[in-house]
Amino acid sequence: MIGVISVTSKGDKIAEDLKSHMNIMLFSKKQITDFNLMNITENLMKTCSGIIFISSTGIAVRAIAPYLKGKEKDPGIVVVDCNCNYAISLVSGHIGGANELAIETAKILNIKPIITTATDGLNVIAPDVIATKNNLVIEDLKKAKYIAARLVDNNKIFFKDDMNKIQIPSGYESTDIIKNNAVWITNKARTKGFINDETVLRLIRKDIVIGIGCRKNIESEKLIAFVYKALEENNIDKRAILKIGSVEIKKDERAINDLSCILKCPFQTFAIEDIKKIEDKYEGSEFVLKTLGIKSVCEPSVELMGGKIIVSKIKYEGITLAIGQI
């Protein structure tokens, strides 16, 4: 949802033009009796993907200032002047989508978009734009700023996508090996070799699924530590985990649900009948067969999540784990 704040009658008319082309919620000073700009702004900063102020830039700046959290959290903020000449991308141009919102708004109103982010002016693609458009996790915003600064200064930046899914963006040079001053699309946790890690920005692709089997009421701390150890040993970044899978009887297992919360990814369970159809492909356990009626849990769960197994079943004190890649 896009929140629109209008402080004049002219602004209300502009908002009506937007409403016919865009899904917006209008907050008008002329229409709301107890209009409170700061309270409205605070609420919209928490709930909207973007906010359009139809006002002066100064009003917008003073309204949002107390509620700014950082470029990775703030919604895109756009200002349209009351004379309807410009759509100005004010805050969170890339990650928050303000640049795109300003361009879309300008097209609807037939006015000029104002984009001031440096890379856009040079027709090169900033790393946070690559991340946003491809649903990637930015490893470190300081590194992203470093890469963007080099692009602006016309310095060489290398680009490597482990899966070769993303076209080489404007301003980058392709490489098959990791080099200093690079953007690396990967699920890996760290670089290897004689590379200055501070100059390599990882944009983390969420393409890893993990299948888990465990005894009832396993301790959360034990399961989480085991999963983290397995990820570390296989150089997989925990932010690359797309989802966790197990058998349906484990849907309320506290340890797996705790892991799901910590990794901020969904926990998906599968019917015993579905697991039975594919369990013979994998190593089985007589104990699991007697307990659940199926021979294996973790590896079939990876397959049912659409993953190709890259780490076969690992066992540890009542826990089994398999890792797959989508």
Mean pLDDT over the full length of the chain: 95
Residues 172 and 252 in one domain: no
Residues 239 and 143 in one domain: no
Taking the C-alpha atoms of residue 302 and residue 316, their distance in angstroms, rounded to an integer, is 18
Asked whether residue 205 carries a pLDDT value surpassing 80, the answer given is yes
Lowest model confidence (mean pLDDT) among 51-60, 178-187, 280-289, 294-303: 280-289
Residues 262 and 320 in one domain: yes
pLDDT of residue 134: 96
Q: For 144-174, how does the pLDDT look when each residue is reduced to its tens digit (9 = 90+)?
A: 999 999 999 999 999 999 999 999 998 899 9
Residue 197 three-state SS: helix
Residues 171 and 263 in one domain: no
**Total domain count, the chain:** 3
Q: For 75-86, how does the pLDDT look when each residue is reduced to its tens digit (9 = 90+)?
A: 999 999 999 999
Taking the C-alpha atoms of residue 274 and residue 231, their distance in angstroms, rounded to an integer, is 27
pLDDT of residue 194: 65
CB neighbour class for 182 (10 Å; exposed up to 12, middle 13-18, buried from 19): buried
Return the number of other C-beta atoms located less than 10 Å from residue 73's C-beta: 11
Q: For 276-305, how does the pLDDT look when each residue is reduced to its tens digit (9 = 90+)?
A: 999 999 988 888 877 788 989 999 999 999
Q: Which domain holds residue 270?
A: 208-325
Residues 235 and 307 in one domain: yes
Residue 184 three-state SS: strand
Strands (E), the chain: 2-6, 24-28, 50-54, 76-80, 86-91, 112-114, 136-138, 158-161, 173-174, 182-186, 200-205, 208-214, 241-247, 267-270, 308-316, 319-325
pLDDT of residue 170: 87
Taking the C-alpha atoms of residue 39 and residue 29, their distance in angstroms, rounded to an integer, is 13
Tell me which long-range contacts 146-155 makes (C-beta under 8 A, separation of at least 24): 146/198, 146/199, 146/201, 147/181, 147/183, 147/201, 148/118, 148/119, 150/181, 151/119, 151/122, 151/124, 151/126, 152/118, 152/119, 152/122, 152/124, 155/181
Length of the chain: 326
Residues 87 and 140 in one domain: no
Residue with tokens 């200055």: 196
In this prediction, what percent of the chain has a pLDDT beyond 90? 90
Residues 218 and 195 in one domain: no
| Structural domain includes residue 168 | yes
Task: Give the CATH number, domain containing residue 44.
Answer: 3.40.50.11220
pLDDT of residue 286: 80
| Structural domain includes residue 263 | yes
Asked whether residue 2 carries a pLDDT value surpassing 80, the answer given is yes
Residues 40 and 93 in one domain: yes
The pTM (predicted TM-score) of the whole model is: 0.83
